[in-house]
Structure 1
């Protein structure tokens, strides 16, 4: 048999739960606005510069800006090298090996450079495939100027054969940004699903949506939001 004290306590708990639900329901609009403000603050607090290249698919352009938000948070993203220092000479990939101070690769060195933190070996491989205007005759030189960083990455992302037959453009147009980030995370480990998440990793899907809104607006009526 339930005692009167236990019954009173049970009734009090039910009343408190009911009041709590009412308060939360009344606060839902404010909580929603607060969440939207947090997302807005995230995108404003990170330097997500426009691309140097013009034109192209807005979904891929938004993805490129999202990658750079995580990989090269700087007001000069095209000039940054691993560790945060900036360089001025972009005639070619800088190929400066900087010792990694923390994380799973501590003690090794990284040649990551530019807006998309291309390793020297990755740049050499992808530039040979996608660079639109290499110079030189016997020995090709692949300029690392901002527009070429953009154009090489853009072509790489658009090449389904480079991603195991997965068409990244179609995935993005279907709204599958999480799947795309997972697909790219072995290449850019800060995108989530990898070994080196950072403080912005969890915000990347929301950042992508914000970037996509901007890119679709700039592209005009020929594209649509999912």
Structure 2
């Protein structure tokens, strides 16, 4: 009887061994979770604006990667649709369907997902070509891609606005300090209330984009 048991269970043992081996192969073929995921820089294409500090430019593209990861970031509206005209901020208020602000609405638009009130405030300070009516204290501010870039670039470069010298800190490698300060404005940067799937990758994304900007400058 004892000598028959190995013969009876040998097919089962072989089958179990094969299944185990197959599982082991599949596990070993899986990419390591420790590897940094690749980032398609076409989701944060170069700025339309030319010139400027490469560190600030890389930061702007990093903000865009987390806030407006889209092949047409300058026209994207909160929720994923696109504005057809950018002569002014579209001011479309889209209902928020999840997160801490659910059931409110957002006018966030463009590469930096600026809401209409923030755009109105910052364009008054930094817009290089306001369209002002003569003898009327009223100006319009183009929301075309070049001006989105120029307004945000001037804002990030304004030491008084942030109470820190962002270009200097970036050059010194203090990205996290900068992200922390900016997170109250762009909540997906890592210290705000609305992080997303891109947020954990931002440090690596910034480094990749910075290399592009430094190479472009040279």
TM-score (norm 1): 0.79
| 1:128 partnered with 2:127 | no
Counterpart residue number, 1:141: 140
CA contact (8 A) 2:44 2:64 kept: yes
- How far, CA to CA, are the matches of 1:45 and 1:201 in structure 2? 15
CA contact (8 A) 1:46 1:73 kept: no
Aligned ranges 1:82-93 → 2 under 5 Å: 82-93=78-89
- Bigger Rg over Cα: 2
Counterpart residue number, 2:205: 207
Counterpart residue number, 1:159: 158
Change (3 A) 1:45 1:51: closer
What are structure 1's unaligned runs of at least 5 residues? 1-29, 221-226
- How far, CA to CA, are the matches of 2:143 and 2:118 in structure 1? 13
Counterpart residue number, 1:22: none
Alpha-carbon offset, residue 136 of structure 1: 2.4
What are structure 2's unaligned runs of at least 5 residues? 1-30
Counterpart residue number, 2:61: 65
Equivalent residue in structure 2 for 1:175, among 168, 173, 176: 173
Alpha-carbon offset, residue 44 of structure 1: 1.5
What is the root-mean-square deviation of aligned Cα atoms in Å?
1.6
Counterpart residue number, 2:183: 185
Alpha-carbon offset, residue 45 of structure 1: 7.2
Counterpart residue number, 2:107: 111
Alpha-carbon offset, residue 48 of structure 1: 1.1
Aligned ranges 1:30-69 → 2 under 5 Å: 35=35, 38-39=36-37, 41=38, 43-44=39-40, 47-69=43-65
CA contact (8 A) 2:41 2:209 kept: no
Number of equivalent positions: 185
The secondary structure found in structure 1 opposite 2:102 is coil
Change (3 A) 1:134 1:161: same
TM-score (norm 2): 0.82
| 1:98 partnered with 2:94 | yes
- How far, CA to CA, are the matches of 2:179 and 2:42 in structure 1? 19
